[in-house]
Chain A
Amino acid sequence: MEPMLEATGLTKTYGQTRALDDLDLTVAGGQVFALLGPNGAGKTTLVRTIATLARLEKGTLRVAGHDVRTEGAQVRRAIGLAGQFAAVEPALTGRENLQMVARLFGHTRRGARDASDRVLEQLGLTDAGSRPVRTYSGGMRRRLDLGASLVGAPRLLLLDEPTTGLDPRSRTELWAALEDLVAQGTDVVLTTQYLDEADRLADQIGIIDHGRLVAVGTANELKSRAGQDVLDVRLADSADLDRAAGLLGGEPTIDRADRRLTAPLTGGATEMLHRAGALTEAGIAIADVALRRPTLDDVFLSLTGRPTDDTDDTDDTGTLEESA
């Protein structure tokens, strides 16, 4: 199957910032691909270049087989975009919002009505369809916005942080809606800062940082890449953290706010008990100890040197804890 996306050497700068830095990426069709990365990693810029909204400086990008530079119109025919904000008009009803976009996708008046009704039903908004959008909750608006990108039956759905700013329940609802769509065969490229979102929705995940793709694979592949099992030790007293880190071995990462040490580990439970024992022998009180499979968080940390939910600043709570 022809790749849905084929990018080589993508480069794009805004002022001094290299939003995309010689990025290569190939995404096969028939799947959900998640671009995972912290704020400012270049996720939105990549989506905007795919959607023909941002011009490329260098590199080539083909979307559904069409070059974004020379065949923009064909690319636009193949995609549906839902950006970071709900681009819907509060004064219009949900149905009116969808019908306008459906007309622009090329539907006849009747076709636009039918497509809008189908999408409303698909997203569980049929009852709300005749109400003005200003009466909708944030989650409903985002679902409607997703619907607007669907009324033209795009081959590729582009979602830029589809659940940012939503409460947990709306998030779960939107995920369910997306899973339904995927089951019906829509290809999706989405960006997210949430590991659980990528883990739940995506067949393949690309980790992006500083405008470069640092890793691609399924969630499991990425997790096994981060090393084997992970040893998690939580101490009773944060004053012991640095001494414990030395004793534990394996260059553990230190989470001061949580008084937690995390280190890769081979050798299973025996090794875990052995290393935890070293701490107790040194008189360090352990509050909690666990052996677990790595999460995408660990992957992210090992690849980029920082956690996903943490941009460049140090964690506030950590600083407080330390000064206290």
Chain B
Amino acid sequence: MSTTAPTPTDTAPTRPANAPEGTASALTTLGAVAWRTVLKVFRTPQVLGFALIQSALFLVMFRYVLGGAIGVGGLDYVDYLIPGIVVSGLLFTAGGGAVAVAEEAASGLYDRLRSLPVPQLAVLAGRALADALLLYVVALATLAIGLAIGFRSDADLVHWVTVLALLFLYATAVALAFVWVGLATGSAQAANGLALLGVPLSFLSSAFVPIASMPAAIQVFAQWQPLTFFINTWRGLLLGDPVVATFEHSLDFYLVGSILWSVGLLLLVAPLMLRSYRRD
């Protein structure tokens, strides 16, 4: 009879060669998730491209089509417009982040990330940070176009740095809020629909026309909503006293208000976002 011995099991199954060396720190996690997001956006150029085209179209429309009919006191309309459009345009762009997050949630990406031994807040922070960077890039590009079509400021370096730092704080808060929107809605369409609310919000602010020209009830809303705080801070810091003189409040009021709005939004959204992320 055949005497072929039963095949010996090679060796006892050992721990495979892929065993990791340690565990991922919060910083590694944040970096890996952020890098993935940035790569993804740059590999899909239409995302950034559309955002830029949209901002440019808004600029041209208001600057050359509507601008002539809008009175903003002694100011050039282009100078009035640019802070408004940089700040509110960032909000329009942010909807894309919510849509992407909703798509990723539907694909099971967050289920996988939640099943990994990593600090979970770092996953969300990485996603939001990458989105914030991209929003920031679009906002800076919009500002550059603004400078090209006639925006002028003789603000000093300190004012510019303040303005740009404030813009990043604002971009971070907005990005985080939209990550939450994407997780909470869980569907790209719903996220997109909700993101469109940014448009009326920007029209009900000081972005395009002076608040004083609005009906009284709307004025109250427009004066206290966050966009007006950011826009007026920008205007005050970049355009100086003549503009500040037209404000209802002092420049410091708007500056502090902007920071409070950003921090408040971050503190409000972070736990909501974690809750949506951990929903079973």
Task: Let me know if A153 and B43 touch, CB within 8 A.
Answer: no
Interface size class of A (residues with CB under 8 A): 35 or more
- Number of A-B residue pairs with CB-CB distance less than 8 Å in the complex they form: 117
Chain A binder among B29-37, B169-177, B181-189, B223-231: B29-37
Q: Which of B17, B29, B111 contacts A53 (CB 8 A)?
A: B111
Task: Let me know if A104 and B24 touch, CB within 8 A.
Answer: yes
Residues from chain B with a CB closer than 8 A to the CB of A111 are 20-21
Task: Let me know if A132 and B115 touch, CB within 8 A.
Answer: no
| Shortest Cβ distance from residue B194 to the other chain A in the assembled complex, whole angstroms | 23
- B1 interfacial by beta-carbon distance below 8 Å: no
| Shortest Cβ distance from residue B71 to the other chain A in the assembled complex, whole angstroms | 46
- A246 interfacial by beta-carbon distance below 8 Å: no
A73 to B114 alpha-carbon distance, docked (Å) = 10
| Shortest Cβ distance from residue A189 to the other chain B in the assembled complex, whole angstroms | 13
Task: Let me know if B24 and A106 touch, CB within 8 A.
Answer: yes
Task: Let me know if B18 and A118 touch, CB within 8 A.
Answer: yes
Chain B residue with Cβ nearest A74: B117
The A149-167 residues at the B interface (CB cut-off 8 A) are 149-153, 158
A220 to B223 alpha-carbon distance, docked (Å) = 75
- A266 interfacial by beta-carbon distance below 8 Å: no
- A190 interfacial by beta-carbon distance below 8 Å: no
Task: Let me know if B112 and A87 touch, CB within 8 A.
Answer: yes
Number of interface residues of B (CB under 8 A): 36
The A12-56 residues at the B interface (CB cut-off 8 A) are 30, 48, 51-55
Chain A binder among B8-16, B234-242, B251-259: B8-16
Task: Let me know if B111 and A81 touch, CB within 8 A.
Answer: yes
- A92 interfacial by beta-carbon distance below 8 Å: yes
The B16-72 residues at the A interface (CB cut-off 8 A) are 16-24, 28-29, 32-33, 35-36, 39-40, 43-44
A101-B116 contact given A87-B111, A91-B40, A92-B39, CB 8 Å threshold:
yes
- A103 interfacial by beta-carbon distance below 8 Å: yes
- A256 interfacial by beta-carbon distance below 8 Å: no
Task: Let me know if B114 and A52 touch, CB within 8 A.
Answer: yes
A92-B115 contact given A100-B36, A153-B17, CB 8 Å threshold:
no
Chain A residue with Cβ nearest B105: A87
- A107 interfacial by beta-carbon distance below 8 Å: yes
Q: Which of B13, B18, B36, B118 contacts A89 (CB 8 A)?
A: B36
- B109 interfacial by beta-carbon distance below 8 Å: yes
Chain A residue with Cβ nearest B114: A53
Residues from chain A with a CB closer than 8 A to the CB of B118 are 104
Task: Let me know if A103 and B13 touch, CB within 8 A.
Answer: no
- A105 interfacial by beta-carbon distance below 8 Å: yes
- B2 interfacial by beta-carbon distance below 8 Å: no
| Shortest Cβ distance from residue A208 to the other chain B in the assembled complex, whole angstroms | 18
Residues from chain B with a CB closer than 8 A to the CB of A241 are none
Task: Let me know if B111 and A51 touch, CB within 8 A.
Answer: yes
Residues from chain A with a CB closer than 8 A to the CB of B40 are 89, 91-92
Residues from chain B with a CB closer than 8 A to the CB of A119 are 18
A207 to B227 alpha-carbon distance, docked (Å) = 57
Chain A residue with Cβ nearest B106: A85
A106-B21 contact given A81-B112, A149-B112, CB 8 Å threshold:
yes
Q: Which of A51, A79, A108, A151 contacts B18 (CB 8 A)?
A: A151
A151 to B44 alpha-carbon distance, docked (Å) = 26
Q: Which of A83, A118, A153, A185 contacts B20 (CB 8 A)?
A: A153
A104 to B115 alpha-carbon distance, docked (Å) = 10
Residues from chain A with a CB closer than 8 A to the CB of B17 are 115, 118, 153
The B93-127 residues at the A interface (CB cut-off 8 A) are 104, 106-109, 111-118
A79 to B115 alpha-carbon distance, docked (Å) = 8
A68 to B115 alpha-carbon distance, docked (Å) = 12
A91 to B40 alpha-carbon distance, docked (Å) = 5
A152-B20 contact given A55-B280, A101-B112, A104-B32, CB 8 Å threshold:
yes
- A245 interfacial by beta-carbon distance below 8 Å: no
- A96 interfacial by beta-carbon distance below 8 Å: yes
Chain A 66-89, CB-CB to B under 8 Å as 1, else 0, gives: 000000010011011111111111
Chain B 201-217, CB-CB to A under 8 Å as 1, else 0, gives: 00000000000000000
Task: Let me know if B21 and A83 touch, CB within 8 A.
Answer: no
Residues from chain A with a CB closer than 8 A to the CB of B39 are 91-92, 96
Sampled A-B contacts (30; CB under 8 Å):
A30-B13, A51-B114, A53-B280, A55-B280, A73-B117, A79-B115, A81-B112, A85-B106, A85-B107, A87-B108, A89-B109, A92-B43, A100-B33, A100-B36, A102-B20, A103-B32, A104-B24, A104-B29, A104-B113, A104-B116, A104-B118, A107-B21, A149-B112, A152-B18, A153-B15, A153-B18, A153-B19, A158-B115, A185-B13, A185-B16
List 11 additional contacts besides A48-B111, A53-B115, A158-B115; criterion CB under 8 Å.
A51-B115, A53-B280, A89-B40, A100-B33, A101-B112, A101-B116, A104-B28, A104-B116, A106-B117, A149-B112, A151-B18
Q: Closest 9 interchain pairs by CB?
A: A185-B13, A106-B20, A54-B280, A87-B108, A153-B18, A91-B43, A83-B108, A81-B115, A106-B23
